[in-house]
Structure 1
Amino acid sequence: MSREQLVVQRARKSFQTGKTKPLEYRIHQLKNLLRFISERRGDIADAVKRDLGKSARGTELFETLGLEGEINLSMEKLAEWAAPRPVEKSLLTISDEVYLQPEPLGVVLIIGAWNYPWAVTLQPLVGAIAAGNAAVIKPSEVSSHSAKVMEELLPQYLDKDLYPVVTGGVSETQELLKQRFDHVFYTGSSTVGKLVMEAAARHLTPVTLELGGKSPCYIDKDCDIRIACRRITWGKFVNCGQTCIAPDFILCEASIQSQVIEEIKKCIKEFYTDNPETFEDYGRIINQRHFKRLMALMEGSTVAVGGNCDESQCYIAPTVLKDVTGESKVMKEEIFGPLLPIITVSGADEAIQFINAREKPLVIYIFSHDNKLIKRMIAETSSGALLANDCLVHFTVSALPFGGVGNSGMGCYHGQHSFDQLSHLRSCLIKQLKMEGVNSMRYPPHTAKKLGWARFFLLKRVNVCRLRRMALLATLAGLAAFAVQRFLQ
């Protein structure tokens, strides 16, 4: 029996004891996870620095701060999320209890990504714990230092059987995927996402796939180009461009291409100085394989800004490519690095056509003062999300579900969406052994004669809350009338 199989068996055996069912236990584990982030902040920052060259400030801002917010929100709202959820009734069920009861799925496999090794691995874990599941955590082997810290330190804070950490590479992940889980949550590329979904299908296991794609960014020529480029520069080059929701390429009219390039050039200097290679808050490419991949993507394109590199340091400067076409090499795959191509279009019509001719992206960005144009972009395109006049910040809103559509993924998470994604919303109806006269309309004989009444009782929807309000108003009106009558006497 493999190590992975033993880990999954232990997690399932522990889950089946029912220890995760009480909300108090879930909150206790969430508090321990919060304590882990607080007490091990230095270890986490050091690991991310060694993996991605990210500063401690960058790690806190883009990794642990959001985690703390998710944990606090889950603890605050858990009782509300886990409570029975009443639903609309028909006349046939008006006297019955009819509701949805969230219940744990069971054992969840969480496969994390290397670009934000803590945020995208532990945020799904928050939802898994809150929903009452066990979870096997598989951090990415590419961010090896973060994976090692997670493996060594997380079991000191969470239940070792319910929330084990399994490290390793492709073979270990493949062995995990051979096991039966109740849900698989994967963050990464579309290519691997297909393999994960194929493996899960053998057990009829549902999946959440948080993938990526080439997220376009359209700049309207009449917008404030200086502010637009400032926000795009930040969104593109944070974490050295290794962000799934980073603007992948710019679409704009040829008449503003030079101005866009000049403004982005100014912002790069403002954010990262004249020499980003020596600047603390500008990171590195994760490894030499990805470095070489990115350098190959630039072939055939004209460098307008940046282009400097150092393979020994896995360093690529913030780079803007101009006069790119849809057939350029850099447009053949998700960039996932500090390269920003600019493609010129004749206007919004061509931009929308260009976007719709490709796979559905994780996010579409548009910069414009024209609200009608923004609404048109929403109406005529499809993506996991759409963000107007800023970049990345929708990820910070827990009330918004985060996820893709089509080639950019399926399922979503954040806040209550994480809880619901990793729960089964069980349909419950509790009827009394009374009122058999009403129930008899569904029984033979002469069912056909009763069809008219059945249609009325089955198809007539009843808003119970509205009925309660009407009953309350009627009661208050009756009391008021009685009080007036007594006063007049």
Structure 2
Amino acid sequence: MKNILDILNNQRDCFNSQKTKDINYRLTLLNALRAEILDNEQSVIQALKKDFKKSEFETYLSEFALVISSLNLAIKNLKKWAKPKRIKSSLLTFPSKDYIYTEPYGNVLVIAPWNYPFLLAMEPFIMAISAGNTVVLKPSELTQNTSKVITKIIQNVFPENIAISIEGGVEISTELLAQKWDYIFFTGSTKVGKIVAKAAAKNLTPVVLELGGKSPCIIDDSVNLKLVARRLVWGKLLNGGQTCISADYVIVKSNIKQDLINVLKNEIIRRYGEIPKESSDYPRIINETNTKRLETLIKNENIVFGGEIHKDDCYVSPTIIDEPNLDSKIMQEEIFGPILPILTYETDTDIEKIIWNLDHPLSLYVFSNNKKFVENTIKKFSFGGGVINDLLIHFGNHRLPFGGIGGSGMGKYHGKHGFDTFSNAKPIIKRGNWYDPSFRYPPYKGKMSLLKKVFKYFG
């Protein structure tokens, strides 16, 4: 394997040469990347099938298509995004023309997770390149098949002094984090996110942390339960529940709890059959370690549906848990699997006690036709982003910033927000020389009254 410090130094030299600041050169790279990814569509699909037993439909919907959309968006809008923006001037700086210039940070490290290994590696990578940075990408070692395809794609498009994918385990991540970067973008667990933040702090490196947490789904008694079940089962079981913005648990009005459980059972069977293990649309858990972790979470819990686990096949059936204790493991840890705890509430205070017992979630979902209840809920709780009457779909709109708050992360990306994340906004004032008022220059005697008036009316 190539020496990491040598790679970083070569990328730093390349960035200092100003090569990556050329918009047309960036567009050439992005177009070449799009062509290479399209040529490797089946390779990506097959890799994810090997890593997760994920269906072609789900792979295309939740990973491949979103990457191509991100590329198309960047290619179409890059010149507009990168153009200096004229800003209204202040009378305090008259005469002047004011602008915001965008510039790349420099040498960027992107550390990707295993749960959506293609999408969550390529989307930040695309935006970092679009902004004019050089990039070292570290794909997940847990999804070896997908990581190999990613490395091949990047290798076929980019000179190593502009972008490279470096595979490996914890030791490689540790070595990468020991270097001095201009920007770090990390997606993964809160536990590892703290390690990344600590490493970045040593060099005051700006960092985006896309983490997770326990995202609640609140359901009141004004809803159509069959519609709720359809959307909830889809959102919860997509990728086998291994989705950072998945509903981690449900808080349902107590008078409809049993009805909800019944329709959820029916919906699961309708979508995946009596034996989900035999469904070609039902993914597996990433590895045996995580399968065992999920087995531990449901031990001694009140399982009202599912609970079947085959460690040799990394299979965990869709599982519903009734009323776990708030202090239990399953309510203290992010589940990251096809297990759905059901809690109940009578009053808004009951909801508060549950959600405020945990750190800020990455997402929050509300199923309700009561507009006042919805508005009060989304204003009361702090969370990264949310959806009313559905799950996950806020991730799919590139116009919405995506990211967490508190324990669920910091920083935002997606679309133009991603370009901005990897760009330093540099304010510039171009001062006119045709007029130079003497007011700001000493001596200041007798000018205090005028100074206060200036700030009162023009400040």
Answer yes or no: is 1:237 the counterpart of 2:233: no
- Residue aligning to 1:91: 91
**Residues 326-358 of structure 1, C-alpha deviation per residue, up to 9 Å, x if partnerless?**
122211200000100001222333113321232
Q: 2:448 aligns with which of 448, 451, 454?
A: 451
| Gap regions ≥5 residues in structure 2 | none
Q: Does 2:344 correspond to 1:344?
A: yes
Deviation at 1:458, TM superposition (A): 4.8
| Contact preservation (8 Å) 2:89, 2:97 | no
Q: Matched residue of 2:164: which SS?
A: coil
Q: Which residue matches 1:157?
A: 157
Distance in structure 2 (CA, Å) of the matches to 1:347 and 1:49: 44
TM-score (norm. length: structure 1)? 0.91
| Counterparts of 1:458 and 1:433, CA distance in 2 | 23
Counterpart of 1:451, as a letter, is M
Q: Secondary structure of 1:164's partner?
A: strand
Other structure's SS at 1:20 match: helix
Distance 2:341 2:52 in 1: 23
| Greater Cα shift, 144-153 or 195-204 | 144-153
Q: Secondary structure at the match of 1:89?
A: coil
**CA distance in 1 between partners of 2:311 and 2:213 (Å):** 25
Q: CA deviation at 1:304?
A: 1.0
8 Å contact 1:100–1:428 — kept in the other structure?
yes
Shift in Å, 1:45: 1.0
Q: Which amino acid is 1:444 matched to?
A: P
- Equivalents in 2 of 1:461, 1:192: separation in Å? 48
Letter in 2 for 1:442: R
What is the CA distance between 1:126 and its match in structure 2?
A: 1.3
Partner of 1:114: 114
Q: Identity over aligned residues, as a percent? A: 37
Partners in 2 of 1:52 and 1:33 — Cα distance?
25
* d(CA) in 1 for partners of 2:357, 2:310: 36
Q: Which stretch has the larger CA shift, 111-120 or 32-41?
A: 32-41
Alpha-carbon separation, structure 2, partners of 1:328 and 1:262: 24
**Superposition TM-score, scaled by structure 2 size:** 0.97
- Give CA-to-partner distance per residue, 1:261-301, whole Å, 9 cap, x none: 11111111121111111111111000000000000000121
Does structure 2 retain, via aligned residues, the 8 Å contact 1:277–1:315? yes
Matches within 5 A, 1:315-394: 315-394=315-394
Distance 1:314 1:448, change over 3 A: farther
Whole-angstrom distance in 1 between the partners of 2:217 and 2:305 = 18
Report the equivalent of 2:273: 273
Say which is worse superposed, 239-248 or 8-17, in terms of deviation: 8-17
Residue aligning to 1:399 = 399
| Contact kept in structure 2, 1:321 and 1:342, CA below 8 Å | yes
Q: 1:11 maps to what in 2? A: 11
**How far off is 1:86 after superposition?**
2.3
Q: How does 1:452-467 map to 2 (within 5 A)?
A: 452-458=449-455, 460-461=457-458
Instruction: Report if aligned partners of 1:12, 1:107 keep a CA contact under 8 Å in 2.
Output: yes
Unaligned runs of 5+ in 1: 463-489
CA contact (8 A) 1:91 1:460 kept: no
Residues 47-86 of structure 1: pairs in structure 2 closer than 5 A? 47-86=47-86
Q: State the shift of 1:2 in Å.
A: 7.2
- The residue number in structure 1 matching 2:169 is 169
TM-fit CA distance, 1:76: 1.3
Q: CA RMSD in A?
A: 1.5
Residues 251 and 344 in structure 2, CA contact (< 8 A), matched pair in contact too: yes
CA deviations on 1:438-487 (whole Å, 9 max, x unpaired) are 1x211111x1422333344455459xxxxxxxxxxxxxxxxxxxxxxxxx
Deviation of 1:23 after TM superposition, in Å, equals 1.1
5 Å matches for 1:251-266?
Answer: 251-266=251-266
- The C-alpha deviation readout for 1:236-277, integer Å capped at 9, x for no partner, is 001000000000000012221111111111111121111111
Task: Give the conservation status (yes or no) of the 8 Å contact 2:117–2:140.
Answer: yes
**Structure 2 CA distance, aligned partners of 1:77 and 1:455?**
44
